[in-house]
Amino acid sequence: MSEPIKTTKTALIVHADMSVLSAFQSSFVSKGYVAILARDLPTALLALTQHFFDVAVISSRLAEGGDGWPLAGVVHLIFPKAFVGVLTPETNVLTLQAAINNGVTQIFDASSNPDHVVNASLSSQQAGSSKTSSEPGASIH
């Protein structure tokens, strides 16, 4: 009898601040995920061509004027079943519209504790896997 195949879960974390990336990496690794880190848009796009992602946490503001919203949309298009969370410094009507337009699962305040964001993303994934269908949308945390 053969052993079941173990699947590795992978998370993409995109943020310009290395200390934030490290905090998210530690939190995801503690939950058994492999964390792929990117500090800018080109690195994140390269990672999308090299890995399969179950979860992505992306800052809405990237270095050098980069915008994380379109990146979230690309992640959603490539990995439609993945949890896509965006960290944003403000929540307003435009933020909610950007989240809906880009298929973001949840938006979080940029100052959210990484453990809270990781736990919310994993809870959402587990809840989503038990449903027969799921519609993209945005909720605020």
The residue extents of the domains of the chain are: 9-62+71-129
Q: Are 14 and 28 in contact (CB under 8 A)?
A: no
CA dist 71 and 53 (Å) reads 13
Kindly give the interhelix angle for 114-129 and 18-30, rounded to the nearest 10 degrees.
50
What is the rounded distance in angstroms from the CA atom of residue 46 to the CA atom of residue 134? 28
- What local confidence, expressed as pLDDT, does residue 130 receive? 43
What's the sign of the alpha-carbon dihedral 74, 36, 38, 21? positive
CATH 3.30.420.10 is the classification of domain 9-62+71-129 = no
Give me the pLDDT at residue 137, please: 43
Whole-number Å distance between alpha carbons of 76 and 108: 17
pLDDT of residue 62: 87
36 bridge partner residues: 12
Which two three-digit tokens encode residue 38? 């990117």
10: β partners: 34
Whole-structure pTM value: 0.85
Split the chain (141 residues) into runs of 10 and give each run's mean pLDDT. 73 96 97 96 95 96 81 96 95 92 95 95 75 41 47
CB–CB of 53/12 below 8 Å? yes
- In angstroms, the CA 141 to CA 65 distance is 25
**Residue for token pair 């919203």:** 69
